[in-house]
Amino acid sequence: MNMSELQFWRNPAARSFVLAILVIGVATGFAGMGLALLLHWIQHLAYGYSLDHIISNETFLQGVSAASPQRRVLAMAVCGLVAGCGWWAVYRFGRPLVSIKKAVAAEDPSMPVGSTLAHALLQIMTVALGSPLGREVAPREVGATLAGWWTRHSPLDTRQRRILVACGAGAGLAAVYNVPLAGAVFVMEVLLGSFEWSVAIPALATSTLAAVVAWLGLGNEHQYTVPALQISLPLVFWAIICGPLFGMAAFGFGELTKWARAHAPRGNTLPLWGLVNFFVIGLIAIYFPQIPGNGKGAVALAFDQELGIALAAILLVLKVFSTVASLRSGAEGGLLTPGLANGALLAVVLGGIWNLFWPGTSLGAYAIVGATAFLASSMQMPITAVLLTLEFTRIDHDFLIPMLLAVAGSIAACRWLGRLQAQGRA
């Protein structure tokens, strides 16, 4: 050990930083694993499938499809009561919530432990019961909260604490989805806007540790199993032409969700809003079992080429409606998998039309490219979106060509619309 290394380990802040990386990575891995297992357990209990296995080969979509219409409506009604009463209680009795981005930008990057944990558990419970919102925010919030709590009384400076809180969020994403690289890049691209070594090293370490720890309960599996797909010339040209369309659609979806969240109730009417909203979604689920849940079932159908143009178009309208309506009713959750679903369903429609004029490409290939392009713009994270799709599907490396072309067009169109909107408001 040379002199510089010796001086490093004699520095209390340096030792605390390394220890914090290890603790946050491992603790967030266990937390993410626990949240995922809780989600599966509630899903199985609510819809009555695979009751003797928390992790099973039977998917949520299969479980919902096999459940009776009455059970679907009842499960969604319970979801509405849990959502409405739960978030009313959090807003009424808990400390004000702090978003991860606000925490990372604050002088004290801590998040209120009790309120945030309750907020996260409510998201997991409602998504498990059938909420169309995403589950990825919950483990990110738990990871960031753990990091803020662990580092609060440490000798670390504010910048180091911010980095670790962001790393906790990325580790939560990595744990529940088994996406260590995407989790780390999410920290760098979205939360901190920096790819410096001082950010990259702890981000990569915490996300990798969390993903590996989560294997203990969730296994080393990827989210979507897709058939062998081939890149084609029609797909490449389609990606170039349709990429901007996905950006425009994602911009519109983002505006709808912003409006819904801005007008969501926070007072005594929240339980009623929640019950009515999810009861209506339950009625829709009688005829379309693909609607309950965060959209993973619809994405899998699109990737597996099990959707036609007509059904994909209907599901797209219903998914957007249910997502926006749920946010408007006061429910909380992420938009990662819902965005992925919207992009995949829109791609099946556009790809199916394209095939009428230039056949030769499977609808699953269009779905993968379109889902990535939509997600890149709807979440404003082009690099993370590409890596998420690669780690979600383990798709062939050649698919980077149409994916990157579509993402480039999508981001360009989305930002162009954003500039036009800003000029209109000026």
Query: Which of 147-156, 173-182, 326-335, 404-413 is least confident?
Result: 147-156
Judge whether 108 and 156 are in contact, CB under 8 Å: no
Q: What is the mean pLDDT of residues 232-257?
A: 97
What's the confidence (pLDDT) of residue 10? Answer: 61
- Beta bridge mates, 134: 334
What's the confidence (pLDDT) of residue 9? Answer: 52
CA-nearest of 169, 142, 180, 123 to 337 is: 123
Q: Find tokens 């990871």 and name the residue.
A: 143
Helical (H) or strand (E) element with 425: helix 400-425
Q: Give the DSSP per-residue string, 24-66.
A: HHHHHHHHHHHHHHHHHHHHHHHHT-STT-SS-SS-HHHHHHH
Residue 423 and residue 426: Cα distance in Å, rounded? 5
Residue 296: both structure tokens together: 């993973």
Judge whether 402 and 368 are in contact, CB under 8 Å: no
Amino acid symbol at 382: P
Residue 316: both structure tokens together: 């797209």
**Distance from the first to the final alpha carbon of the chain:** 59
CA-nearest of 137, 61, 40, 59 to 339 is: 137
Q: For residue 41, what are the CA distances in angstroms to 45, 160, 243, 327?
A: 6, 37, 38, 24
Q: What is the mean pLDDT of residues 153-165?
A: 92
Query: Which of 42-56, 304-318, 384-398 is least confident?
Result: 42-56
Q: For residue 270, what are the CA distances in angstroms to 21, 242, 277?
A: 39, 39, 11
Please list the alpha-helical segments (H only) found in 58-157: 60-66, 69-93, 100-105, 113-129, 137-151
**Tens digits of per-residue pLDDT, 251-286?**
999 999 999 999 999 899 999 999 999 999 999 999
**Tens digits of per-residue pLDDT, 1-49?**
444 444 545 677 788 899 999 999 999 999 999 999 999 999 999 999 9
**Tens digits of per-residue pLDDT, 387-425?**
999 999 999 888 999 999 999 999 999 999 999 998 888
- Beta bridge mates, 334: 134
Return mean pLDDT, the chain. Answer: 93
* Residue ranges of domains in the chain, CATH in brackets: 9-218 (1.10.3080.10), 233-425 (1.10.3080.10)
* CA quadruple 124, 190, 389, 376: dihedral, nearest 10: 110
Give the number of C-alpha atoms closer than 13 A to the C-alpha of residue 175, restricted to the C-beta side: 36
**SS3 labels along 167-185:** HHHHHHHHHHHCCHHHHHH
Amino acid symbol at 120: A
pLDDT greater at residue 229 or residue 382 = 382
Burial class (CB in 10 A: 0-12, 13-18, 19+), 213: buried
